[in-house]
Copies of this chain bind each other. A is one copy, B any other.
């Protein structure tokens, strides 16, 4: 059984801000958004969490072991350093999508994301204990992406291939298995999973081949935190690369350095 703590970080009233008093320069917005995500990723990463850029104005994180005080510190720190503020909701469930849903409702209940008076909401429940296999993560990449795509096609067409594989996988894992999958750059996809059997991952790989003709491989790991689970998954993915297999499970909960 997995237990996943999920955090939603949402920029308050961001859309209106980007066009007030008139549209802001797009590259200023891009720089702002990627710096903000970098800070969030660094913050949770240093506490063994994972954060994903998602839509940039809404970021999803897996935060097992990170308590309410730390979330409050992040919120205050962003308010002190950026022209925007964030609301943060957190919840826990055995299914990642349900944890996200509950985290999200904590914000939605307080008002619209574009409600001017709904700012810096901080609402959540936090795991008080973690156990060694709370989190299951699957780390996918594309078999021989550089040889088959990057070195052959123009980058936009390569990107389109990867995006199609991602879209196919994310919907499959969400609809069938309540997992949350995120593109993390290059040809890498990280899926936050409930308790899933090894066969599920093989089926997912088959699904993507059948659907969009892109071949993935996947390493799966578990751990007390996103980092531990993800690190085990990365090692398992290395095993795929060396052995030429499509799916590898990490033997035991990984111990990170």
**Which A residues lie at the B interface, using CB under 8 A?**
8, 10, 14-15, 18-19, 22-35, 37-39, 41-46, 49-51, 53-58, 60, 70, 72-74, 76-77, 79-83, 97, 100-101, 104, 108, 112-114, 145-147, 150-160, 162-164, 167, 170-171, 174, 180, 184-187, 190, 227, 230-231, 234-235, 237-238, 256-257
Contacts and interface: CB of A to CB of B under 8 A. Distances in A.
B160 A81 contact: no
Contact of A257 (B60, B76, B81, B112): B76
B27 A42 contact: yes
A156 B185 contact: no
Contact of A97 (B39, B113, B145, B154): B154
Given A38-B38, A42-B39, A184-B30, A151 B113 contact: yes
A44 B27 contact: yes
B167 A163 contact: yes
10 contacts: A24-B80, A25-B80, A25-B231, A25-B256, A26-B50, A26-B227, A27-B51, A32-B81, A34-B37, A60-B156
Contacts of A43: 46
Contacts of A56: 185-186
A164 B162 contact: no
B170 A57 contact: no
Contacts of A45: 25-28, 30-31, 77
